[in-house]
Structure 1
Amino acid sequence: MHFLETVVSTVNGILWNHLLIFLLVGVGIFFTVRLGFIQIRGFISGMKMFFSGVSLKGEKAGKSGMSSFQAVATAIAGQVGTGNLAGPATAILLGGPGAIFWIWISSFLGMATIYAEAILAIHFKTKDKNGQVVGGPAYYIEQGLGLKWLAIIFAILIIIALGLIGNMVQSNSIVEAFNNSFGIPAGIMGAVLAVITGLVIMGGIKNIAAVVEKLIPLMALFYLLGVVVILALNYQYLWEAIRIIFVAAFNPEAVLGAGAGIAIQQAARFGIARGLFSNEAGMGSTPHAHAVAKDTAPEEQAFLAMMGVFIVCTIVTLTGFVIITSALKDWAALGLTLQDGNFLSIYKVKGIAVTQQAYQSVFGDFGGYFVSIALLCFAFSTIIGWYYYAETNVRYLFNSSLAIRIFQVLVVCFIFVAAFFKVDLVWDMADMFNGLMVIPNIIALIFLSSIVIKITKASKIK
């Protein structure tokens, strides 16, 4: 286990401390400029399209694809998961409150990046031998760049990154949350989650679309109601939290003290890494969902894709404010000020337990229960969404129903095994594989950018 931790740590150091920050920020800036700040000028149109399409009972998805809203709901299902509840906690504790600022930056730039991904996904979508509509980076890398070997590498990476390791993160966090709140043993919760997942994913695209279409709007409303109540009770610390976020983004020691050992690079590293884990812009995952939207122009679905990033960033931000304001409140209750040291040291736990502690500081034991239930909805929807992305790439590599069935069994097994892993290791492994799959996708986005620009210029949507 120690060897694995060393390897993962070394690779993440190379990816996240240097390479990926420049790649993700760079490609986000490139598309933001080349598309004329599409995330600003297209924001209102995107929101109108999103809310006009909201439905809890649309038509069933099938081989020809799914409705536009089902597609964006599936994409958001993958985005709105553990990264929205546990992600801000790990980012704040490891990178300081300034990590939230870098999440904002990565999300703003990511809206332009994900717009480009959605355009290419629909432009290059196709059908497999069974007539199932499919699409995603593997398809636009092979068809657009003519680099099948690179497409294969991406397909393998996303199968591991999301279908296996990524879903271990979701499972691990659910298990930990329910153990903390309800005392349910890890093995039992892991087994229950594995069984439920197996029942849904083995039902195919019809079940996946039906589940996420209903779960996404309801779970978002449920969670946001809890957030609003907490922030209303912690209102006197809101402005201080905002100030701290901006100061800590560029001078962490001014807020946390030199003893915290957090530098600007760490704030940016963990903010961008957790931003990617939550909004997935540039990762190459959400294009699989947008590709199968029926009767939708590329630019229309791309606008909806941007709204997905915005919604996810909003949830992450609100969670971050809950964590920071609750820490400030508890720190002040001890008679301490910011000059007395790192106020985040009030949290003696890691991962999802930090978010639970923040909620418990306001709601008592009910806060822990609330986060556990919310996380079950958020993370389970992500398991379903990520499974679908990975399955699309299993289809790409093997185009075999037997291969898909074997993969389904593997997913269920990994979800169960995740219950017994260390929290830090699971998150670090997810960061590593997520980072690796970004590279081939970014290469494709850069070299196929002329197609994105051409389609955007021809669009009637403004």
Structure 2
Amino acid sequence: MEAINNVVLAVSNFLYQPFILPVILLVGGLYFTIRTGGVQIRMFKDCLRVVTEKPKTENGISSFGALMVSTASRVGTGNIIGVATAVICGGSGAIFWMWLSAFLGGASAFIESTLAQIYKKKNADGSSYGGPAFYMRDALNARWLGVIFSVLIIFTYAIGYNMLAAFNLQSTFKVFSFYGDRTPAIIGVILAALFGAVVIGGAHRLVKVTGVLVPVMGIIYVAISLIVLVLNIGNVPAMFAGIFKNAFDFQAIFGGFAGSCIMFGIKRGLYSNEAGMGSAPNAAATADVSHPAKQGLVQMLSVFIDTMLICTATAFMCLSTNIIPQNYLGADGSADAAGYVQAATASTLGKFGPIFIAFAMCLFAFTTLIGNYSYCEGCIRFIIQRDIKPGELLAFRLFATALVFVGSIASAGLVWNTADMMQGLMVITNMPTILLLGGTAVKCLRDYQKQKAEGKDPHFVAADIELKQDTDFWK
């Protein structure tokens, strides 16, 4: 395990050099923000409006339905443990860089999800599917790149993110007296059994129940954070001063960039909101909408919900208290993120705080596991270019289930480094692609705006933007 972790860490450290991933994400997001005329701000009202629209066909997936699939993957353990880790390891200024990466990433999310809608494919029943692998194949004529990206998604979500979600969940129970050496394995068995019941046993009712509970829990989570913030109102001015002072301490940042607030803000922001990675477009492609730009706007809203609401709620809930985050930084550089969040809530809410965090993590982690897995089977079909045989599918589902258990008992360094490496590889594959194809999404946005200005409910026709490639939809 140590040898594997050393290799993973070396690759991860290379990817997060100052002029690789940070530049790709921030500069790419800034470029799309300029090209779209600041779509994140200018069309925020449209985001709220289109998310309520019904699908075009009776059995189609609505914009809201596709939003919930992508949000189930985005809103998870990263919003709690990821944010706390960023603050402990990078300082409070990491929150500013998380905000900035999410703001700029909103434009990237719009571009990638709009492209997924334009190039989506049609199932026999009329429903749709797609994602980056398909716009890589159909728009760039690079099926090989789509295959590489599909492999990366499988490794990132079935292995990296799902192992990390399981690890983060069990770590929230360390503060309770019953936690012992066997607790991670026990939690791993329970979590793997629930996961397997859904992906192997078809217990989809469980997903529907948690799918309803998670938005409710998200609202409650933000409300609890506001209560903590109000009860510590005297610390709020110093909290904001600390965030901005630390964010622009460039001497400290460039003195040790790998452990700086910028790097941890980008790493943990990406882990949480996934903007530019190419994951959410797989969900966006399933939506039944009249115009691709509509789903681009909806997925942009998902980034806002994830980072500006849930991640910020965690940051404020922790930083407004008198709990010092650096006290939870281990000698080996690891962070007891769960302990920090629970200590912060306990300092204000007493015993209720740690219990609430553990309960929220249980819901968020489970839906994250299912949301992450939902991206994988379609990628396998793209790779092998046929339907997956029942035996093959069962083997993969058993493998994915086993990884949930492994994640719960693995070391913190290995699961975090694996997730960081895999998400970085996805970014350097997807972002250059959407930079090449972004012009098509911008034309699509202009077409949407033109029809809106004419008082129409926008309906897209590929020929209107002179799209050269054939599409299953939009004729």
Q: Which residue of 1 aligns with 2:466?
A: none
- 2:234 aligned partner, one-letter code: Q
The equivalences for 1:402-413 within 5 A come to 402=390, 403-413=392-402
Of 303, 306, 317 in structure 1, the residue corresponding to residue 300 of structure 2 is: 306
Q: CA deviation at 1:209?
A: 7.1
Q: Which residue of 2 aligns with 1:152?
A: 147
CA contact (8 A) 1:113 1:282 kept: yes
Deviation larger for 398-407 or 135-144: 398-407
Whole-Å separation in 2 of the counterparts to 1:106 and 1:405: 38
Q: Which residue of 2 aligns with 1:335?
A: none
- 2:29 aligned partner, one-letter code: G
CA contact (8 A) 1:98 1:267 kept: yes
1:297 aligns with 2:291: yes
Matched pairs, number: 436
1:368-411 Cα shifts (integer Å, max 9, x gaps): 11101001111211111110012221221233143332221111
- 1:221 aligned partner, one-letter code: I
Q: CA deviation at 1:252?
A: 7.2
Whole-Å separation in 2 of the counterparts to 1:191 and 1:265: 34
1:45 aligns with 2:46: yes
The equivalences for 1:177-192 within 5 A come to 177-181=172-176, 183=178, 185-192=183-190
Check 1:296–1:356 CA distance in 2 against 1; reply closer, same or farther (3 A cut). Answer: farther
Of 120, 127, 135 in structure 2, the residue corresponding to residue 125 of structure 1 is: 120
Q: Which residue of 2 aligns with 1:202?
A: 200
1:258-291 Cα shifts (integer Å, max 9, x gaps): 9xx8669711111011111111000110011111
CA contact (8 A) 2:30 2:104 kept: yes
Whole-Å separation in 1 of the counterparts to 2:337 and 2:192: 21
Whole-Å separation in 2 of the counterparts to 1:182 and 1:359: 17
Whole-Å separation in 1 of the counterparts to 2:167 and 2:359: 14
The DSSP-based 3-state class of the residue aligned with 1:293 is coil
Q: CA deviation at 1:417?
A: 1.1
Q: CA deviation at 1:350?
A: 1.2
1:383 aligns with 2:402: no
Q: Which residue of 2 aligns with 1:344?
A: 325
Whole-Å separation in 1 of the counterparts to 2:258 and 2:239: 18
Of 404, 420, 427 in structure 2, the residue corresponding to residue 431 of structure 1 is: 420
- 2:381 aligned partner, one-letter code: R
Check 1:296–1:183 CA distance in 2 against 1; reply closer, same or farther (3 A cut). Answer: farther
Check 1:205–1:160 CA distance in 2 against 1; reply closer, same or farther (3 A cut). Answer: farther
Whole-Å separation in 1 of the counterparts to 2:62 and 2:218: 20
Q: Which residue of 1 aligns with 2:220?
A: 222
Quote the sequence identity (%). Answer: 35
The DSSP-based 3-state class of the residue aligned with 1:86 is helix
Check 1:245–1:148 CA distance in 2 against 1; reply closer, same or farther (3 A cut). Answer: same
Whole-Å separation in 1 of the counterparts to 2:361 and 2:87: 18
1:57-109 Cα shifts (integer Å, max 9, x gaps): x99x99x7522211101111111011100011111111111100100110000
CA contact (8 A) 2:76 2:367 kept: yes
Whole-Å separation in 1 of the counterparts to 2:313 and 2:12: 27
Unaligned ranges ≥5, structure 2? 330-334, 454-475
1:422 aligns with 2:407: no
Whole-Å separation in 2 of the counterparts to 1:175 and 1:363: 22
Whole-Å separation in 2 of the counterparts to 1:262 and 1:96: 13
Check 1:166–1:37 CA distance in 2 against 1; reply closer, same or farther (3 A cut). Answer: same
1:178-218 Cα shifts (integer Å, max 9, x gaps): 34336351111111111111122236696697356413321
CA contact (8 A) 2:36 2:442 kept: yes
1:401-456 Cα shifts (integer Å, max 9, x gaps): 43332221111100011111112321111000110111121122011112101101
Q: Which residue of 2 aligns with 1:102?
A: 97
1:273 aligns with 2:273: no
Q: CA deviation at 1:253?
A: 7.6
Check 1:386–1:65 CA distance in 2 against 1; reply closer, same or farther (3 A cut). Answer: farther
- 2:380 aligned partner, one-letter code: V
The DSSP-based 3-state class of the residue aligned with 1:180 is coil
Whole-Å separation in 1 of the counterparts to 2:61 and 2:396: 23
Whole-Å separation in 1 of the counterparts to 2:160 and 2:349: 33
Of 396, 406, 428 in structure 1, the residue corresponding to residue 382 of structure 2 is: 396
1:355 aligns with 2:341: yes
Whole-Å separation in 1 of the counterparts to 2:75 and 2:175: 22
Whole-Å separation in 2 of the counterparts to 1:406 and 1:120: 32
Whole-Å separation in 1 of the counterparts to 2:268 and 2:371: 18
Q: CA deviation at 1:28?
A: 0.5
Check 1:120–1:47 CA distance in 2 against 1; reply closer, same or farther (3 A cut). Answer: same
CA contact (8 A) 2:198 2:207 kept: no
Check 1:29–1:320 CA distance in 2 against 1; reply closer, same or farther (3 A cut). Answer: same
1:284 aligns with 2:265: no
Q: CA deviation at 1:223?
A: 1.1
CA contact (8 A) 1:251 1:263 kept: no
Whole-Å separation in 2 of the counterparts to 1:209 and 1:119: 27
Deviation larger for 356-365 or 271-280: 356-365
1:229-251 Cα shifts (integer Å, max 9, x gaps): 11111111111111111110011
More helix by share: 1
Check 1:322–1:358 CA distance in 2 against 1; reply closer, same or farther (3 A cut). Answer: same
Q: CA deviation at 1:130?
A: 8.5
The DSSP-based 3-state class of the residue aligned with 2:136 is helix
- 1:347 aligned partner, one-letter code: Y
- Structure 1 residue ranges, 4+ long, deviating more than 4 angstroms after superposition: 128-132, 203-209, 261-265
- 1:201 aligned partner, one-letter code: V
The equivalences for 1:33-72 within 5 A come to 33-50=34-51, 52=52, 66-72=61-67
Whole-Å separation in 2 of the counterparts to 1:410 and 1:308: 30
Whole-Å separation in 1 of the counterparts to 2:409 and 2:259: 32
CA contact (8 A) 2:63 2:295 kept: yes
- 2:340 aligned partner, one-letter code: V
Check 1:102–1:280 CA distance in 2 against 1; reply closer, same or farther (3 A cut). Answer: same
Deviation larger for 152-161 or 393-402: 393-402
> What's the TM-score once normalised by structure 1's chain length?
0.88
The DSSP-based 3-state class of the residue aligned with 2:336 is coil
